[in-house]
Structure 1
């Protein structure tokens, strides 16, 4: 994980990120293996976070997990997230009309952040869940947002990708991703061709404001057992309608501007 050198608060937030990334209760020694801080510094930070209720320590198992205060703050922030509130009825309608899983996502620090998810009429197990982060380069929502960013911001996000191969279809180089971005810009939509998870496919379109800002992305996701990429492509006009409706409703909300500098800071 990239460490942000901006004082004690920044270090504490880094530690919270590291604990959360495990997705399970974690021992101090496991965090220490990934941390950029000396053992005494890390211990002091984790003790402070525990005392403040941001982490919870299980003395019997000797593990740390997100604390009640952090969960409460996260819930409050989530409930007040403008794009989630604006998009909710539109993605619910899209899921009901298509019978498939619908995702709402944004780019956050070079990754895809899943903001909301509406399950299919017959849910299918998959990685994505609201609040989780995923890779940009091998997800439909990630690639379609990347393709519609200004070139300098897109290149900054690309520079942050690890290009891990999840499946035989995963894009594994910046050059291949550049080629994919050009195709997405021409088509206006992106596919996930089993690039992140075997058997999982999707079609995704961006949510773009009137001034051209990428607010997020919407996707319809299914499985190769249930449908095909051609059938998903036929749904692209419905996904576009939902994305445009979200963008229209979002105009009355105040979204903080995300500048090129913020993308650079995310990679420092």
Structure 2
């Protein structure tokens, strides 16, 4: 079998450099990096300059020694954070889905959006389409509004400065005043609603998973609006809050 050739040899060389820098906690000279990666000093220097520019490595201005940069470490921590909350939340989500019979999600706050990272679909005849990895705006999602509710008002105002409240459906909240009403209600109740605000025929109830000042994401239950009744809503609230309490208890 013919092995496919990787595209972008410079990326592979950059990976060799990063691998070497991560092998210990010490800083290294350009000559060391070139020797241990099999690169010429000019080639290693060019790649290091690019990695410096994007923050994947850092260079001590006095000693001229290189080490891993803060931006790469931020991504690494983000990845570990996602993997950890997915693993921890999985059994709680499974229990929540069995208790409600509806689709449940786990999402994380990423770049002013909520990103789906786990989903357990309903087995009922009509279930909902959603895609792992998809991101939706915070202002028109139950999980997003629940996460916003855990922020200070100043942080929410900053979010509003950066994000236009664009109508997704006829039910979408498009004013700051209305969004703050929803956020304040979520602060009191411990959950938030998406009542056909992102998808017209979908109702969603979500709650954030925050311990202290650290937010681990949010969980939600989604269902077609036609299946919603007062009795169903009360059951969803109770099961969601119980799941939230149990999950937070595990994270403490």
TM over 0.5: yes
- For the Cα contact (< 8 Å) 1:167–1:198, is it kept in 2? yes
Alignment gaps of 5+ in structure 2: 1-10, 12-78
SS at match of 2:209: strand
For 1:204, the equivalent position in structure 2 comes to: 206
Q: Quick check: 233-242 or 97-106, which moved more? A: 233-242
- Name the larger-Rg structure: 2
For 2:218, the equivalent position in structure 1 comes to: 217
For 2:191, the equivalent position in structure 1 comes to: 189
- For the Cα contact (< 8 Å) 1:100–1:222, is it kept in 2? yes
SS at match of 2:139: coil
For 2:100, the equivalent position in structure 1 comes to: 98
SS at match of 1:168: coil
Return the offset for 1:79: 10
For 2:144, the equivalent position in structure 1 comes to: 142
- For the Cα contact (< 8 Å) 1:202–1:232, is it kept in 2? no
For 1:177, the equivalent position in structure 2 comes to: 179
SS at match of 2:140: coil
SS at match of 1:225: helix
User: TM-score normalized by structure 2?
Assistant: 0.63
Return the offset for 1:229: 6.1
SS at match of 2:216: strand
Return the offset for 1:237: 2.0
Output aligned runs, 1:149-164, within 5 Å: 149-164=151-166
The alignment status of 1:231 with 2:224, answered yes or no, reads no
Q: Deviations over 1:64-103 (max 9, x none)?
A: xxxxxxxxxxxxx589711111101110110011100001
Q: Distance in 2 between matches of 1:230 and 1:149?
A: 31
Alpha-carbon distance change, 78 to 114 in structure 1, aligned in 2, over 3 angstroms: farther
Alpha-carbon distance change, 173 to 152 in structure 1, aligned in 2, over 3 angstroms: same
For 1:124, the equivalent position in structure 2 comes to: 127
Alpha-carbon distance change, 173 to 79 in structure 1, aligned in 2, over 3 angstroms: closer
Alpha-carbon distance change, 226 to 155 in structure 1, aligned in 2, over 3 angstroms: same
User: TM-score normalized by structure 1?
Assistant: 0.60
Return the offset for 1:187: 2.1
- For the Cα contact (< 8 Å) 1:204–1:236, is it kept in 2? no
- For the Cα contact (< 8 Å) 1:203–1:233, is it kept in 2? no
Alpha-carbon distance change, 80 to 142 in structure 1, aligned in 2, over 3 angstroms: closer
The alignment status of 1:81 with 2:86, answered yes or no, reads no
- For the Cα contact (< 8 Å) 1:103–1:116, is it kept in 2? yes
Q: Distance in 2 between matches of 1:182 and 1:142?
A: 13
Alignment gaps of 5+ in structure 1: 1-8, 10-76, 252-268
